[in-house]
Amino acid sequence: MFDSGMLHVMNVAAYDLNHLRALHFLLDEAHVARAARRLGITPAAASNALRRLRADFDDPLLVRSGRALVRTPRAEQLRAPAREVLAAAERLFEVGTAFDPATDVGDFVLTTSDRVAELLLPALDALLRERAPRATLLMRTVTVDVAAHLREHGGVAIVPRVARERGLRGEDLFVDEFVCLMRRGHPLSRGPWTLARYAAAEHVVVAPLDSLRRAAGDELLAAHGLSRRVTRLVTSFSLVAPLLVASDRISTLPRSFALAQVRAQGLVVRALPVPLPPIQMQLVWDPAHDADPRGLWLRAVVREVANATRARLPQQPKARAHHSKGRDPARGARATHGRPRSVDHR
């Protein structure tokens, strides 16, 4: 029985750092077997550690809810301090220790969208195989709170500048533009290309965290008294193409991803009726890891990969539609007819 009201005093000077490691991994995983794997011990030893920690903090910490373990309120309070103290202890032993990627056996963590991962992963994988052959690349797509993930796990993320969260360090990495993607033979792949026709189509929108339904182009449309018909909202770029190939839906996507889908899926890219501001992608990390040699090395490698990849990207097709002076583009002002300009994918 745990007395949550009892003042529990602990002798910090005599506290075993191994208990702190166990506390961090048990609270992080909320799962005894997974925590045991990360600690390099048996599940039985992890269960014993949990019993000791429950006595240390006079709290059950993890309680059963159905078939899963969930953190108590006290455990939620302890998560961040445990992580910070353990990170500080690790930095203490890293001071003065040279980092050698050739012998490193740790994890390099990169968080980004699946479309940026698809763009950069081949070159990044090749560089890591060559320069850090014993390390593990842990690539996560943006389905998590990026700032919290970077604070807890380190590593880097690649996100749009507008989506960069407060408190993170960042630097510009590459620029991408928006284009419109649709199936071959789509009614909108030819003929007048106006904001009104664009808005009236059914749209597929990508929202990685399933929380932002407004996306690129909505403010522009609103300024002309228009809005899009969003009929499909997906959390992954990889889900877009299947929703376009057999329907009359369209999607507004970054050029680098859209052109890859043209090659793989036989879709058509058309420049938007009115250009949108480009997307500035940034490399971001938590400032607590500014001087971490592993983080510095990873940022340099990602920068190198982005520079090389950017040089190989095909140029964006130019918008061929234009509007007569004084005419509202939403009312179908003068536009180019015919099929969209072909794109050289070599």
Which pLDDT tens digit goes with each residue over 194-213? 999 999 999 999 886 555 55
The residue ranking higher by pLDDT, 81 or 51, is 51
The full set of domains in the chain, from first to last, is 12-94 (1.10.10.10), 103-334 (3.40.190.290)
Query: Which residues, other chains included, contact 322 with Cβ-Cβ below 8 Å and sequence gap of 6+?
Result: 333, 334, 335, 336
Query: Which residues, other chains included, contact 148 with Cβ-Cβ below 8 Å and sequence gap of 6+?
Result: none
Tell me: the pLDDT tens digits for 219-230? Answer: 888 888 999 888
User: Nearest-CA neighbor of 316 among 278, 266, 267?
Assistant: 278
Q: How far is CA 44 from the centre of its chain?
A: 35
- Identify the H or E element spanning 305: helix 293-312
CB atoms inside a 10 Å sphere around CB 340: 20
Across the strands, what pairs with 267?
A: 183
| Average confidence score pLDDT of the chain | 80
Q: How far separated are the first and last CA of the chain, in Å rounded?
A: 69
- Identify the H or E element spanning 115: helix 114-131
Place of tokens 């506390």: 23
What gap in Å lies between CA 111 and CA 142, rounded to an integer? 6
The residue ranking higher by pLDDT, 156 or 291, is 156
Dihedral (CA of 26, 31, 33, 37) sign: negative
pLDDT band at 323 (very low <50, low <70, confident <90, very high): very low
Amino acid 319: pLDDT? 43
Is the pLDDT confidence value at 40 over 80? yes
Amino acid 131: pLDDT? 95
Is the pLDDT confidence value at 63 over 80? yes
State the greatest distance between any 2 C-alpha atoms of the chain, in Å, as a whole number.
79
What gap in Å lies between CA 127 and CA 140, rounded to an integer? 18
The residue ranking higher by pLDDT, 310 or 63, is 63
What gap in Å lies between CA 254 and CA 138, rounded to an integer? 24
Pairing of strands 267-270, 202-206: unpaired
What gap in Å lies between CA 161 and CA 281, rounded to an integer? 6
pLDDT band at 146 (very low <50, low <70, confident <90, very high): confident
Pairing of strands 251-254, 229-234: unpaired
What gap in Å lies between CA 68 and CA 52, rounded to an integer? 20
Place of tokens 């070159």: 123
CB atoms inside a 10 Å sphere around CB 341: 13
Is the pLDDT confidence value at 336 over 50? no
User: Residue 52: helix, strand or coil by DSSP?
Assistant: helix
Q: How far is CA 205 from the centre of its chain?
A: 16
Amino acid 275: pLDDT? 85
pTM of the predicted model as reported, rounded to 2 decimal places: 0.62
What would the mean pLDDT of 236-255 be, rounded to a whole number? 92
Is the pLDDT confidence value at 291 over 60? yes
Is the pLDDT confidence value at 27 over 70? yes
